[in-house]
Amino acid sequence: MLELEEFEKVDMRVGTITDASLNKRARKPAYKLKIDMGETLGIKNSSAQITELYSAEELIGRQVVVVTNFAPIRIADVKSEVRILGADTKEGVVLLSLERPLENGAKIY
């Protein structure tokens, strides 16, 4: 089992997608995203395989929950600095949603 202290090391925060476009060089369909993480963390890049259920246009302005302290990974030509959280379904990945708007950079506990 995972100890609580280990879980607490995962830094999950709220951010707002400010830009989304197709990541044409990715092997699997994905979007290149810019996510505003607030004053402390700034703008972060990510690549996410969420094309089945979301258009690039509808992602802009959407708040998402991301993990900020995993090591960055390169996906095609994108240095993915944060990992967006969602649930994998038969139809595609469903992004976690918030009950109400929050400040960018708000910590998830």
Pairing of strands 43-48, 63-67: unpaired
The highest-level CATH class for domain 11-103 is: mainly beta
- Domain regions of the chain by residue span: 11-103
Q: pLDDT value at position 26? A: 93
Q: What's the mean pLDDT in 10-31?
A: 96
Q: pLDDT value at position 35? A: 98
pTM over 0.85: yes
How does residue 96 score in pLDDT terms, banded at 50, 70 and 90?
A: very high
Q: What's the mean pLDDT in 37-46?
A: 97
Q: pLDDT value at position 5? A: 94
CA-to-CA separations, 66 to 24, 25, 94, in angstroms, rounded: 23, 23, 13
